[in-house]
């Protein structure tokens, strides 16, 4: 496992690691009672999760539940490797299928910390995770009560385009509740929504315009 973890640091080795059947082996050892074996397995999966094609394969093979379980590990090294892997895996859309699992494993305060990080990958992860969690109407109150609204709007005005888009979708989801709309307006939520409405993507445009119409009606 130590060797595989080292090999997985080099993208040139990704394909052969998977072809040799190591992926299932690594996922299995996420539940190991051997702390070093567990750490090396997580580190290897974090490396493999940098590959766009392998992210979906990892999720399909069942890597997500044990990684989420380890997100609150008392071992700081394990926790950091897990969070980095989850950041990468979030880019394949897996959060949308498991919003409650992510909220339970990574509470809102942790996600806000990611959102406000100087690291662009962590920042995008925070935005994507909060946006996907907010897509479930029953989970919107915990997002707002956890203090996510103001950071979402503040970061949107200084983030890269991909993070801005994720934040705009989060605001669109939160604006579905008409009682929440005044707070979105008062805290400056219009600019990211207007930027989304100017996107070249027709789905982005429709989502943003529907939200802007709802906000203007209030």
Q: Please tell me the pTM assigned to this model.
A: 0.75
| Structural domain for 59, as ranges | 1-92
| Pair (117, 137) in one structural domain | yes
Per-residue pLDDT of the chain (218 residues; tens, 9 = 90+): 556 666 666 676 777 777 777 888 889 999 999 899 899 999 999 988 888 888 888 899 999 999 998 988 889 899 888 988 988 888 787 887 788 888 888 889 989 998 998 888 888 888 988 988 998 899 999 999 999 999 999 998 877 888 888 888 899 999 989 899 999 999 999 998 998 899 898 988 988 898 998 888 76
Which of 39, 59, 92 marks a domain boundary? 92
What is the C-alpha to C-alpha distance for residues 188 and 35, in angstroms, rounded to an integer?
Answer: 46
The closest of 121, 108, 202, 93 to 152, measured between CA atoms, is 108
Q: Is 106 left (phi over 0), alpha (psi -120 to 50) or beta?
A: beta
Alpha-helix runs per DSSP H in 34-94: 35-48, 52-60, 64-70, 76-89
| Pair (194, 150) in one structural domain | yes
Rounded to 10°, the helix 35-48/52-60 angle is: 130
| Pair (156, 60) in one structural domain | no
| Pair (173, 86) in one structural domain | no
| Pair (76, 109) in one structural domain | no
């Amino acid at each position: 496992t130590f060797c595989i973890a080292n090999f997985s640091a080099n993208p040139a080795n990704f394909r052969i690691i998977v072809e040799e059947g190591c992926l299932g082996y690594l996922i299995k050892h996420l539940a190991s009672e051997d702390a070093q074996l567990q750490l090396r397995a997580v580190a290897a999966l974090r490396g493999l999760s940098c590959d766009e094609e392998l992210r979906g394969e990892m999720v399909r093979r069942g890597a997500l539940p044990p990684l989420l379980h380890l997100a609150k590990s008392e071992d700081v090294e394990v926790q950091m490797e897990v969070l980095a892997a989850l950041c990468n895996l979030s880019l394949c859309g897996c959060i949308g299928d498991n919003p409650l699992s992510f909220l339970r494993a990574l509470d809102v305060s942790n996600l806000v910390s990611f959102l406000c990080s100087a690291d662009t990958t962590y920042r995008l992860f925070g935005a994507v995770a909060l946006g996907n969690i907010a897509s479930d109407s029953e989970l919107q109150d915990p997002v707002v009560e956890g203090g996510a609204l103001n950071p979402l709007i503040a970061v949107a005005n200084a983030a890269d385009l991909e993070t801005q888009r994720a934040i705009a979708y989060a605001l669109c989801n939160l604006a579905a509740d008409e009682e929440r709309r005044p707070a979105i307006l008062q805290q400056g939520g219009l600019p990211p929504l207007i930027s989304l409405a100017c996107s070249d993507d027709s789905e982005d445009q429709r989502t943003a315009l529907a939200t802007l119409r709802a906000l203007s009606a209030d």
